[in-house]
Structure 1
Amino acid sequence: MDYVLYAVPFFLLLIALELLADRWRGRSSYRLADAINSLSAGVLSTTSGLLTKGVGVLTYAFAWQHLAMFELSGQSLWVWLFAFVFYDLCYYWNHRFGHERNIFWAAHSVHHQSEEYNLSTALRQTSSGFLLGWLFYLPMAVAGMPPQVFLTVAALNLLYQFWVHTRHIPKLGWLEWLLITPSNHRVHHAQNPIYMDRNYGGVFILWDRLFGTFQEELDEHPVVFGVTTPLASWNPLWANLQFYVQLWRDAAQAASRWDRLRIWFMPTGWRPADVAARYPLAKPDLVGFVKFEVPLAPGRKVYAAAQFALYVAVGSGLLAVGETLALPYLLAAWAWMAFGLYAIGAWLENRPWAPAIEWLRLLSIPPVLWLAEHAGLFAAKPMTWSVLLGYILLSAIALWWMTGSAARFGRTTARG
């Protein structure tokens, strides 16, 4: 059972409730472009997961079949309870390495790039964590935890972490000593020096207290969210590539061959001395910290949200049928989704070439649906085509009007 698929409607409902709580309490923890960027990373991650899930599952199953020291039964309650706790311990070390070593941070940094902290941030997930993340869960396979037990407790661990991504819930008393809570997870998402690289647990804060990585949220140090090398983009593809590209550039520019190799495995932030001297990285000043923003007219924001809704729907549909699709169809679906999310990101960044990309994205929708129907992925009814074509037509009219208005405004400004 794909628990994440069934949880999607509840995620969206809770995000809507958090927006209402913002309004009721006079807060502003959401910005549209930031939320769409976070959710785009999540949609891209789940779509990529259809292609890459097998890496973790197959390696775990192989280790379980050939290396298991014990034969544990999935029918036993204690096995499930032990697996739930054991998984969180493995997650702690996976998460900790994700912050403390360059190659792991390159994957995990996606989750921390948002300069806001809300429930949409929880869905901001990496698309490349599959490359090395599976290594940390092999101890469970060696201990004899059946794959179905492993997959289920992994999903439950991930689902638990959703609710802690909020600023509306204060400290929770004695629970702060036992569980990951919104307060101690806010610390984890901070870029303040006092908070950085702390509170790694997924469900239990006990590991952080045991291994010396716990930090309490302090009133005298308000949390500043984000990363010390800002993403400064609404592009979910660049979000996944940013730190890999930085590591690659630093490795290519290093004079020492040894530095070119070890940079990937050194503590996060380490750079070859010669590269750091020639190409210093600017770090934001947390005093008066200014969040990344691109001015965009309200109508353009509404347009972006309406277009993004299509990708949430298609992404959810792919989660439902993904395991039945052949690899070529999965690759095509991923490419189309990635292109669409990239186009929306370019639109939110108000790139000069964004309208041309947007026209191309709109024109791609009917042939993609036609190919999906003829591939037998679903049976589109006449009403489906009517609604879709109406949606595209209205989008095209809005796009033509907005781009035409911008051009007319530019000519008027030039004459003035």
Structure 2
Amino acid sequence: MNFILYAIPIFFLLITIELVAEKWLKTDYYRVNDAINSLSSGVLSQMTGLLKAFIPFTLYLMVFEYIQVFTLPNHWWVWVFAFIAYDFLYYWNHRLGHEVNVLWAAHVVHHSSEEYNLTTALRQTSGSILSWVFYLPLAVIGVDPVILISVGSLNLIYQFWVHTRHIPKLGWYENYFVTPSNHRVHHAQNEIYLDRNYGGVFIIWDRIFNTFQAELDDEKPIYGVRKALQSFNPLWVNMQVYTQLTRDAYRAQRWQDKISIWFRKTGWRPADVDAKYPLAKTDLSKFKKYDFALSLRAKLYAILQYTIIVGLGLIVLLSGDALVFWEQLTIISFIVFSSYSLGAFLDGKAYCTLLEAAKNISLVGLVYLITLPTAMQVGFAIAGIFALLCLVLLIRIQPLPKAQVHSNLAPKDVFK
């Protein structure tokens, strides 16, 4: 059983509580553009997951059916064993996700935020189907697919709460389990913190395999990645490293480099490509967050658009059986387009208003093409019309100034 769907309301409740804490404690851990990018990445991950899950899960079923060595009963101790074994395999999946180019291309999505809050936990990749390979040993020893999905979802749910800066070190608990403190280290790009603390639930694997690093009082974590995303578009965050690897493979002279680059250590580039097309890395001594200021009205509009995206996503997740394949595919395609358009809006692209207008108009027509209850059709149609009115009446349609790349200086407020 996949428990993640049932945990979604709890996720948003905890995010709300953290936002209240943000206001109460006067911290500065949230930005609307960054948070919506994280949340939109989460929606995209769930949608694409529906399309790509069939192949890897079928592979697990085939191994379980034809290659399993033992037949494990459905007893409590099997669930406990599977939970621990899954986390051990997750450690290696996660670690290699940082150490191999093609795996990092997918996992970088989760590390691309320059903030660290509970929305960061939902910033998940849409581009990887390779992670299932790491869990095939569980099929060989006879762990039922239902148990695998269950413990996997519980592992992911546990990881949600550690993405916060509001919880300090937790004493003895730090020695055995992943906590907010030691996971803050994992998301930091400081040299001393780089590529540390890979555990999902248990931190003991990092201690055993010498990849543990405690959070230091005199070394404040700087979040993000060395080759910064410089965008609030969730589609670009999913494609950034894949695009760079493809370029490098195309530009490489030696065919061996064209192939091996995908499986080399993260950051490796062919010598000829690196010399001719050097890539700049973030200078942490001069680090400033990528930002693009939006007016309050623009922020509210972005939140409205994200709410519509979430509503459509929940329809696919909760009512998928009532929809035929082309209807599911149509909604998912619209969500992908909406996420791209909203990302362009958050980045202040000059063409974003045209995309947003087209999206809002399309939404009104979309809901009547899909088999939905009348109340839902009316609700989404009203939302689309209202969003279009907001775009026309509250947002000035004009070319937008270029976003401030890695600057804490407040750029000109737009959409006034």
TM range (shorter): over 0.9
Q: How far did residue 386 of structure 1 move?
A: 4.4
Post-superposition CA distance 1:312-336 (Å, at most 9, x none): 1221221112356443333222211
Q: CA deviation at 1:129?
A: 2.1
The residue identity in structure 1 corresponding to 2:384 is I
Structure 2 CA distance for aligned equivalents of residues 155 and 113 of structure 1: 23
Q: Within 2, Cα distance between the matches of 1:302 and 1:231? A: 24
The change in CA–CA distance for 1:178 and 1:255 in structure 2 (over 3 A counts) is same
Q: Which runs of 4+ in 1 moved over 6 A?
A: none
Q: Does 1:365 align with 2:363?
A: yes
| Aligned-partner Cα distance in 1 for 2:202–2:240 | 30
Judging changes above 3 Å, is the alpha-carbon distance between structure 1 residues 393 and 330 closer, same or farther for their aligned structure 2 residues? closer
Residue in 2 that maps onto 1:257: 255
1:405 and 1:339 mapped to 2: Cα distance?
Answer: 20
Give the distance between the partners of 2:136 and 2:397, measured in 1 at CA.
57
Kindly, what percent of the aligned residue pairs are identical? 48
Task: Confirm whether residue 106 of structure 1 aligns to residue 98 of structure 2.
Answer: no
SS in 2 for 1:36: helix
Change (3 A) 1:51 1:325: farther
1:15 deviates by 0.4
Question: In structure 2, do the counterparts of structure 1 residues 134 and 385 end up closer, same or farther at CA, with 3 Å as the change threshold?
Answer: closer
Deviations 1:80-109 (A, max 9, x none): 000000000110111011000000000100
1:125-180 alpha-carbon deviations (Å, 9 max, x no partner): 001122x1111000000011011111100010010000000000111111111000
Structure 2 gaps, min length 5: 402-416
Q: Which amino acid aligns with 1:70?
A: F
Amino acid at match of 1:241: M
C-alpha distance in 2 between matches for 1:234 and 1:281: 21
Residue in 1 that maps onto 2:10 = 10
Alignment CA distance shift 1:323-1:287 (3 Å): farther
The offset of 1:393, in angstroms, is 2.9
Letter in 2 for 1:25: L
**Aligned position for 2:386:** 394
Given the alignment of the two structures, is residue 188 of structure 1 paired with residue 186 of structure 2, yes or no? yes
Distance in 2, Cα, partners of 1:405 & 1:265? 46
Describe the shift of the 1:229–1:182 C-alpha distance in structure 2 as closer, same or farther (beyond 3 A): same
Aligned partner of 1:228 in structure 2 is 226
Q: How does 1:11-410 map to 2 (within 5 A)?
A: 11-74=11-74, 76-130=75-129, 132-322=130-320, 325-373=323-371, 378-381=372-375, 384-404=376-396, 406=398
The alpha carbon displacement at 1:5 in A equals 1.5
Return the alpha-carbon distance in structure 2 between the equivalents of residues 326 and 215 of structure 1. 49
- In structure 1, how many angstroms separate the alpha carbons of the residues matched to 2:319 and 2:61? 23
Alpha-carbon distance between aligned partners in 2 of 1:85 and 1:389, rounded to the nearest angstrom: 47
What runs of 5+ residues in structure 1 fail to find an aligned partner?
410-416
Cα separation, 2, equivalents of 1:368 and 1:77: 47
Q: Calculate the TM-score normalised by the size of structure 2.
A: 0.93
More helix by share: 1
Equivalent-residue separation in structure 2 for 1:287 and 1:45 (angstroms): 33
**Per the alignment, in what secondary structure is the counterpart of residue 39 of structure 1?**
helix
RMSD: 1.7
Distance 1:146 1:323 in 2: 24
The whole-number CA distance in structure 2 between the counterparts of 1:261 and 1:380 is 53
Using the TM superposition, name which of 36-45 and 22-31 deviates more: 22-31
Aligned partners of 1:404 and 1:26: how far apart in 2? 31
* Distance change >3 Å, CA 105–CA 359, structure 1 → 2: same
Is contact 2:43-2:313 (8 Å) kept? yes
Contact 1:61 1:141 in 2 (8 A): yes
Change (3 A) 1:66 1:362: same
Question: How many residue pairs end up in the alignment?
Answer: 401
Amino acid of the structure 2 residue aligned with 1:100: E
* TM-score calculated relative to the size of structure 1: 0.93
Tell me the secondary structure at the aligned position of residue 21 of structure 1: helix
